[in-house]
Amino acid sequence: MREVRGRVPERGHRAGKDFPRNGHYLYVSTYSDRRLWERALEGQAAAFGELFERHATSVYNYLFRRCGNWATAQDLTSIVFLELWRKRTDISLERESALPLLLGVATNVLRNRRRTERRHRAALERMPVPSESWSPHEDVVERLAEEQRMQELLGILGRLPRREQDLVVLCVWMELTYEEAADALCLPVGTVASRLSRAKRRLRGLLDPAGQSAPGVLKT
């Protein structure tokens, strides 16, 4: 007997359980993201706080994988959530998960970084200073090595058009499905598929011109 694989995308019973998502586990409380979002819109700040707690790590890692700097990724994580809040009236969360939406906002934040930071200047000035218990120097050697490695990868990725870079990071490195990436970038799912396919072909040529091995950058 085998495990059945029929699926219902983004719907169903998720109450109070740890569900695997994209290779790592996130705690999923009894509220769906959509419900939390609705509650946040109704004025319950705690609901937005829970969304932050749920997705801060994914947003943080997405930002790092786009900018190659942990400290910048940390600062921009809050900006992404502030930006989401600022645009709340224009946003309809159709999926149960807010992650595609957040990564879409993060993509725009990175693209318009100066403008976005200027827009949130007053709020950012109120941002708390890290407490003494937080040391940015922890794992500093490891972090620097990661940043160097990421910069090298981004150097290769940067040879692709920006719109293809977005899809490689979202679908390959962050493991979003085509449908989720389509939602994140407001694209038809077919466009996601074709652009990503073209991006992979180009990357293959850049990383392995002789075509002798499958480049790991394309593997999940």
Partner 1 sequence: MNDHQPPEQRAFPDALLPRQKEYLMSEITRDRRTSSRRSRSLVLRVGAVGALAVIVLAVLSLSGVFGSNGPLTIDKALAAVTIADGEVLHIKITGVETDGSTFVQENWSYSEEPWKYRGMTESGGGRLQEVAMDGSGLHQVYDARTNSILEMQDETVAGLAEPKVAGESYEKMIRDLLTSGLAQEDGQEQVGGRDAVRIVERRPAQEGEGTENVYLVDAETGRPLEWRIMNEGENRTLHFDIYEKLPGTPENLGLLDLKVAYPGATVYTDPAAFEQALSKAPAE
Q: Residues 6 to 45: which contact partner 1 by CB under 8 A?
A: 6-17, 19, 24, 30-32, 35, 40-45
| Contact flag: residue 114 with partner 1 (CB under 8 A) | no
Closer to partner 1 by CB, 14 or 113: give it.
Answer: 14
Residues 124-143 that bind partner 1 (CB under 8 A): 126-128, 130-131, 133-134
- CB neighbour list of residue 178: distance below 8 Å, 6 or more residues apart: 171, 189, 192, 193, 196
Q: How many CB atoms lie within 10 A of CB 100?
A: 23
Closer to partner 1 by CB, 130 or 158: give it.
Answer: 130
Tell me the backbone φ, ψ of residue 138, rounded to 5 degrees: -65, 140
Residues 139-178 that bind partner 1 (CB under 8 A): 146, 149-150, 152-153, 156, 171-173, 175, 177-178
Closer to partner 1 by CB, 4 or 114: give it.
Answer: 4
Residue window 179-198: x/- pattern of binding to partner 1, with contact defined by CB under 8 A: xx-x-----xxxx-xxx-xx
Specify whether the CB–CB gap between 82 and 120 falls below 8 A.
Answer: yes
Specify whether the CB–CB gap between 220 and 168 falls below 8 A.
Answer: no
Question: How far is it between the farthest Cα atoms of the chain?
Answer: 59
Q: Residue 115 Cβ, how far from partner 1 at the closest point, in Å?
A: 19
* Candidate residues 33, 37, 64, 160; the one interacting with partner 1 per rule CB under 8 A: 64
Closer to partner 1 by CB, 111 or 123: give it.
Answer: 123
Q: Which two tokens stand for residue 103?
A: 């990564």
Nearest to 87 by CA among 118, 62, 58, 120: 120
Q: Residue 158 Cβ, how far from partner 1 at the closest point, in Å?
A: 14
Q: Residue 112 Cβ, how far from partner 1 at the closest point, in Å?
A: 20
Q: Which two tokens stand for residue 82?
A: 């502030």
| Contact flag: residue 72 with partner 1 (CB under 8 A) | no
| Contact flag: residue 91 with partner 1 (CB under 8 A) | no
β-bridge partners, 28 = 17
Cα–Cα distance for residue pair 73/50, rounded to 1 Å: 20
Closer to partner 1 by CB, 46 or 140: give it.
Answer: 46
Reported residue count of the chain is 220
